[in-house]
Amino acid sequence: MSEANSTRRELLAALKELSQLFPQWRLGQMFANLATTAGRLDAGGVWDLEDDEALAAARKMIADGRRRIQDESKDIAEVEESSAAARS
């Protein structure tokens, strides 16, 4: 398998994971967010985005999304613990 094919397969898997982490995003929004995260801020950013750049951006967005979910879970657990302690 060529490196380009490998990168593309990894990118498609990352897009699937991003879709699961951010189900509220439309596909166009996902591509725009990838381009922005990759530093492609100009109007043609999505068009000029290379697969390896998109993959690196997707990996960053996945890590950030997972971290956000973990932080939200911790916050919820803390609130539930506080509520339970207040009821006791």
Per-residue pLDDT tens, the chain, 88 aa: give them: 688 899 999 999 999 999 999 999 999 999 999 999 999 999 889 999 999 999 999 999 999 999 998 888 776 766 667 776 777 6
Q: Are 28 and 73 in contact (CB under 8 A)?
A: no
Task: Please report the pLDDT score of residue 34 as a whole number.
Answer: 96
Q: What is the pTM of this model?
A: 0.78
Output the pLDDT for position 75: 67
Do 26 and 18 contact (CB within 8 A), yes or no? no
Domain ranges for the chain, please list them.
3-87
pLDDT at residue 4, rounded to an integer:
82
CA 35 – CA 28 distance, rounded (Å): 11
pLDDT at 20: 96
Find the length of the chain.
Answer: 88
What is the Cα–Cα distance from 19 to 14, expressed in whole angstroms?
9
What's the pLDDT at 73? 76
Answer yes or no: are the C-beta atoms of 56 and 38 closer than 8 Å: yes
